[in-house]
Amino acid sequence: MTTLALVPTPMTKPIFALLWFWIITSPLQVARAFQADSPPIRSVLVEFYFDSAQVDHVNALNEIEQHFETIAGVELVARDLKSQNKNQERFQKLANHFKFAPTRIPVLYTCNRIIHPLETEKQWKAILEDTLVLDIYTRIGCSRCVAAKKFMEQITKRYPAFKIRYRELTNDVHARNDLEQLVERYRRTATSTPVFHFIDSLIVGFDQESTSGPRLEAVLKKWTVESELKKKDIKTDSKPVSTPTGQVSEVTQPRPFR
């Protein structure tokens, strides 16, 4: 019996080469297509207004930079009030809106909140952490709460800086009291659950991802920017006080504030 060797003839070599190329590159193409279809990661924009001529301001900036290196999904932009007129104009508008003295600097501005980082380190970090919390009030046995929790799993992937805190109304009297105060403050009627509270917004109810999802993301998108999520490495060395920061920039896209 004659055995036929599976050796491609000159005519079939181009076909074999094309098939082999497709086998090798197909998984990569699929991965790229999947990545392209995935929603982009969005980072919280944090603005730091300071005077680069003040040593304590530069020290505060160095400290803040090191802290943000440990937090995923945060984009820090330093606004030097000493040398950039656009930053001064922007800062004056913030001072007028939030009704604080423009001489009280430096300040952090993010998610519709002003933070004075020259308070104790523990204080400003606690305020910042609280600012990035999404409170969700739920009830046991609530099917819409279950659907909301499933949707929020996607939110934490797309907005990694935000942390979700679930407040169970069924057996937590503190959660009920807090929700009652929020309803009174926002002059809303919380007739259904879940109830979402974050960035000075109170959103009641969750129908389905296609309808309620955009309402929730509209608030988050207002205070975030598209970015490539990079691995955060904690800095082991501090910048000298005399070293100018490399993050000073003009206000190119002023973020909204109410």
* CB half-sphere exposure, 163, CA atoms < 13 A: 10
Q: How confident is the model at residue 117 (pLDDT cuts 50, 70, 90)?
A: confident
User: What number is the average pLDDT over the span 55-81?
Assistant: 92
Question: pLDDT tens digits, residue range 167-183?
Answer: 999 999 999 999 999 99
Question: pLDDT tens digits, residue range 76-101?
Answer: 999 999 877 899 999 999 999 999 99
Q: Which residues pair with 48 in a beta bridge?
A: 78, 108
Q: What local confidence, expressed as pLDDT, does residue 168 receive?
A: 95
Closest listed residue to residue 117, CA positions, set 186, 82, 66, 167 = 66
- Which fold is adopted by the domain 132-224? Glutaredoxin (3.40.30)
- Which fold is adopted by the domain 42-128? Glutaredoxin (3.40.30)
Contacts of 56 (CB under 8 A, 6+ apart): 118
Q: Which helix (H) or strand (E) holds 59?
A: helix 55-68
User: What number is the average pLDDT over the span 138-164?
Assistant: 94
Q: Which helix (H) or strand (E) holds 43?
A: strand 42-50
More confident residue, 9 or 30: 9
State what percent of residues in the chain have pLDDT above 70: 72
More confident residue, 4 or 54: 54
Q: Which of 193-197, 232-236, 246-250 has the lowest mean pLDDT?
A: 246-250
Whether 132-224 and 42-128 are alike in CATH topology: the answer is: yes
Structural tokens at position 236 = 């082991």
Question: Which sequence spans correspond to the domains of the chain?
Answer: 42-128, 132-224
